[in-house]
Amino acid sequence: MFVVNLRRVARQILAFLGILLLVYLFFNSRWYLERVYPIHHRDIITQYSLENDVDPFLVVAVIRVESRFHPQAVSAKGARGLMQVMPDTGQWIAGELGIEDFDPEMLYDPTTNLKVGTWYLALLKREYGGDLALTLAAYNAGRGNVSKWIEEQRWTGREEDINCIPFPETREYVKKVLRLYDTYRKVYRGRWEA
Protein backbone atom coordinates (compact mmCIF):
# COMPACT_ATOMS: atom_id res chain seq x y z
CA MET A 1 0.00 0.00 0.00
CA PHE A 2 2.82 2.39 0.96
CA VAL A 3 4.70 1.64 -2.30
CA VAL A 4 1.55 2.29 -4.37
CA ASN A 5 1.07 5.67 -2.66
CA LEU A 6 4.71 6.62 -3.32
CA ARG A 7 4.30 5.80 -6.99
CA ARG A 8 1.14 7.89 -7.20
CA VAL A 9 2.83 10.82 -5.43
CA ALA A 10 5.86 10.50 -7.73
CA ARG A 11 3.56 10.57 -10.80
CA GLN A 12 1.75 13.62 -9.45
CA ILE A 13 5.04 15.40 -8.78
CA LEU A 14 6.28 14.59 -12.30
CA ALA A 15 2.99 15.79 -13.80
CA PHE A 16 3.22 19.01 -11.78
CA LEU A 17 6.84 19.56 -12.86
CA GLY A 18 5.83 18.90 -16.47
CA ILE A 19 3.11 21.53 -16.23
CA LEU A 20 5.58 23.99 -14.69
CA LEU A 21 8.00 23.32 -17.54
CA LEU A 22 5.28 23.93 -20.13
CA VAL A 23 4.23 27.16 -18.42
CA TYR A 24 7.87 28.31 -18.27
CA LEU A 25 8.40 27.48 -21.97
CA PHE A 26 5.20 29.28 -22.96
CA PHE A 27 6.01 32.47 -21.06
CA ASN A 28 9.51 32.48 -22.49
CA SER A 29 8.50 31.64 -26.03
CA ARG A 30 9.25 34.16 -28.72
CA TRP A 31 5.57 34.14 -29.74
CA TYR A 32 4.44 35.17 -26.25
CA LEU A 33 7.25 37.69 -25.67
CA GLU A 34 6.58 39.44 -28.99
CA ARG A 35 3.00 40.00 -27.85
CA VAL A 36 4.03 41.32 -24.46
CA TYR A 37 6.78 43.49 -26.01
CA PRO A 38 5.35 44.60 -29.36
CA ILE A 39 6.96 46.95 -31.83
CA HIS A 40 4.60 49.28 -33.68
CA HIS A 41 5.65 51.70 -36.45
CA ARG A 42 8.62 49.44 -37.19
CA ASP A 43 9.31 50.86 -40.68
CA ILE A 44 9.38 54.47 -39.49
CA ILE A 45 11.52 53.58 -36.46
CA THR A 46 13.94 51.72 -38.73
CA GLN A 47 14.15 54.65 -41.15
CA TYR A 48 14.92 57.29 -38.53
CA SER A 49 17.14 55.02 -36.47
CA LEU A 50 19.31 54.47 -39.52
CA GLU A 51 19.27 58.15 -40.48
CA ASN A 52 20.31 59.20 -36.98
CA ASP A 53 22.59 56.28 -36.09
CA VAL A 54 20.56 55.24 -33.03
CA ASP A 55 19.85 51.66 -32.04
CA PRO A 56 16.19 51.05 -32.98
CA PHE A 57 15.70 49.04 -29.79
CA LEU A 58 16.61 52.12 -27.77
CA VAL A 59 14.02 54.14 -29.70
CA VAL A 60 11.43 51.42 -29.10
CA ALA A 61 12.23 51.32 -25.36
CA VAL A 62 11.84 55.10 -25.13
CA ILE A 63 8.51 54.96 -26.97
CA ARG A 64 7.26 52.14 -24.75
CA VAL A 65 8.01 54.12 -21.58
CA GLU A 66 6.95 57.49 -22.96
CA SER A 67 3.64 56.63 -24.65
CA ARG A 68 3.16 52.85 -24.83
CA PHE A 69 2.95 53.35 -28.61
CA HIS A 70 -0.05 55.72 -28.47
CA PRO A 71 0.47 58.49 -31.07
CA GLN A 72 -2.10 60.77 -29.40
CA ALA A 73 -0.51 60.55 -25.94
CA VAL A 74 -0.10 63.83 -24.04
CA SER A 75 1.79 64.17 -20.77
CA ALA A 76 0.71 66.33 -17.84
CA LYS A 77 3.41 68.82 -18.91
CA GLY A 78 2.21 68.90 -22.52
CA ALA A 79 4.68 66.55 -24.24
CA ARG A 80 3.09 64.94 -27.29
CA GLY A 81 3.05 61.82 -29.36
CA LEU A 82 4.98 58.58 -29.41
CA MET A 83 8.26 59.98 -28.07
CA GLN A 84 6.58 62.66 -25.95
CA VAL A 85 8.23 65.70 -27.49
CA MET A 86 7.50 69.08 -25.91
CA PRO A 87 6.06 71.61 -28.40
CA ASP A 88 8.94 74.09 -27.85
CA THR A 89 11.52 71.35 -28.34
CA GLY A 90 9.67 70.17 -31.43
CA GLN A 91 9.68 73.73 -32.81
CA TRP A 92 13.43 74.05 -32.26
CA ILE A 93 14.17 70.64 -33.80
CA ALA A 94 11.88 71.36 -36.76
CA GLY A 95 13.99 74.45 -37.44
CA GLU A 96 17.17 72.38 -37.24
CA LEU A 97 15.72 69.78 -39.62
CA GLY A 98 14.24 72.31 -42.04
CA ILE A 99 10.65 71.25 -41.42
CA GLU A 100 8.64 74.19 -42.75
CA ASP A 101 5.37 75.43 -41.27
CA PHE A 102 5.83 73.32 -38.14
CA ASP A 103 2.80 73.17 -35.89
CA PRO A 104 2.86 71.36 -32.50
CA GLU A 105 -0.15 69.34 -33.69
CA MET A 106 2.27 67.63 -36.08
CA LEU A 107 3.80 65.88 -33.07
CA TYR A 108 0.78 63.56 -33.02
CA ASP A 109 1.75 62.25 -36.44
CA PRO A 110 3.97 59.16 -35.90
CA THR A 111 6.28 60.01 -38.81
CA THR A 112 6.92 63.58 -37.66
CA ASN A 113 7.19 62.59 -34.00
CA LEU A 114 9.68 59.81 -34.72
CA LYS A 115 11.71 62.03 -37.05
CA VAL A 116 11.96 64.75 -34.41
CA GLY A 117 12.29 62.48 -31.36
CA THR A 118 14.89 60.18 -32.88
CA TRP A 119 16.95 63.14 -34.06
CA TYR A 120 16.87 64.60 -30.54
CA LEU A 121 17.76 61.28 -28.92
CA ALA A 122 20.71 60.97 -31.32
CA LEU A 123 21.82 64.52 -30.52
CA LEU A 124 21.81 63.77 -26.80
CA LYS A 125 23.61 60.47 -27.34
CA ARG A 126 26.39 62.25 -29.25
CA GLU A 127 26.50 65.05 -26.70
CA TYR A 128 26.99 62.56 -23.88
CA GLY A 129 29.55 60.44 -25.70
CA GLY A 130 27.19 57.51 -26.22
CA ASP A 131 26.46 57.12 -22.50
CA LEU A 132 22.89 55.83 -22.34
CA ALA A 133 22.21 56.74 -18.70
CA LEU A 134 23.16 60.37 -19.32
CA THR A 135 21.33 60.43 -22.65
CA LEU A 136 18.10 59.11 -21.16
CA ALA A 137 18.29 61.33 -18.08
CA ALA A 138 18.69 64.36 -20.36
CA TYR A 139 15.84 63.19 -22.60
CA ASN A 140 13.56 63.00 -19.56
CA ALA A 141 14.72 65.84 -17.31
CA GLY A 142 16.50 68.14 -19.74
CA ARG A 143 20.17 68.79 -20.45
CA GLY A 144 20.29 71.70 -18.01
CA ASN A 145 19.23 69.55 -15.08
CA VAL A 146 21.69 66.79 -15.94
CA SER A 147 24.54 69.30 -16.27
CA LYS A 148 23.59 70.84 -12.92
CA TRP A 149 23.47 67.46 -11.14
CA ILE A 150 26.91 66.55 -12.42
CA GLU A 151 28.36 70.00 -11.73
CA GLU A 152 26.98 69.94 -8.17
CA GLN A 153 28.18 66.33 -7.78
CA ARG A 154 24.69 65.10 -6.99
CA TRP A 155 25.06 62.40 -9.65
CA THR A 156 28.21 61.05 -11.27
CA GLY A 157 26.38 60.40 -14.52
CA ARG A 158 27.37 56.74 -14.39
CA GLU A 159 24.86 53.96 -14.89
CA GLU A 160 25.89 52.23 -11.67
CA ASP A 161 24.90 55.40 -9.78
CA ILE A 162 21.40 55.75 -11.27
CA ASN A 163 19.90 55.63 -7.78
CA CYS A 164 21.58 58.99 -7.10
CA ILE A 165 19.62 60.81 -9.82
CA PRO A 166 17.91 63.60 -7.85
CA PHE A 167 14.53 63.46 -9.63
CA PRO A 168 12.67 60.24 -8.69
CA GLU A 169 10.72 60.34 -11.97
CA THR A 170 13.93 60.56 -14.00
CA ARG A 171 15.62 57.88 -11.91
CA GLU A 172 12.77 55.43 -12.57
CA TYR A 173 12.54 56.50 -16.21
CA VAL A 174 16.21 55.72 -16.88
CA LYS A 175 15.90 52.34 -15.14
CA LYS A 176 12.75 51.40 -17.08
CA VAL A 177 14.12 52.41 -20.47
CA LEU A 178 17.41 50.57 -19.91
CA ARG A 179 15.56 47.45 -18.73
CA LEU A 180 13.21 47.54 -21.74
CA TYR A 181 16.11 48.22 -24.11
CA ASP A 182 17.79 45.05 -22.90
CA THR A 183 14.52 43.10 -23.09
CA TYR A 184 13.70 44.22 -26.64
CA ARG A 185 17.21 43.33 -27.80
CA LYS A 186 16.83 39.83 -26.34
CA VAL A 187 13.30 39.22 -27.65
CA TYR A 188 14.02 40.42 -31.20
CA ARG A 189 17.66 39.35 -31.48
CA GLY A 190 18.33 38.45 -35.10
CA ARG A 191 14.76 39.22 -36.12
CA TRP A 192 14.98 42.97 -36.55
CA GLU A 193 18.07 44.96 -37.18
CA ALA A 194 18.23 48.46 -38.53
pLDDT tens digit sequence for 33-55? 788 899 999 999 999 999 999 99
**Interatomic CA distance for residues 157 and 138, integer angstroms:** 10
Task: Supply the pLDDT for residue 3.
Answer: 58
pTM recorded for the entire structure: 0.86
**Interatomic CA distance for residues 56 and 53, integer angstroms:** 9
Region class of 8: left (phi > 0), else alpha (psi between -120 and 50), else beta: alpha
Task: Supply the pLDDT for residue 25.
Answer: 65
The answer to whether 159 is a known catalytic residue is: no
Residues 120-131 as b/e (b if ≥16 CB within 10 A, e otherwise) read bbbbbbeebeeb
From the candidates 66, 105, 159, 193, give the one annotated as an active-site residue. Answer: 66
CB 45 within 8 A of CB 27: no
The percentage of the chain sitting over the pLDDT mark of 70, rounded to a whole number, equals: 93
Nearby residues of 132 by Cβ (< 8 Å), 6 or more positions away: 58, 125, 159, 178, 181
CA distances from 106 to 25, 43, 85, 92, 164 (A): 43, 19, 11, 13, 36
H runs (alpha helix) in the chain: 2-27, 30-36, 42-52, 56-66, 87-97, 110-127, 132-141, 143-151, 168-187
CA distances from 80 to 86, 104, 188 (A): 6, 8, 27
pLDDT interval class at 174 (50, 70, 90):
very high
Mean pLDDT estimate for the chain: 91
CB 110 within 8 A of CB 71: yes
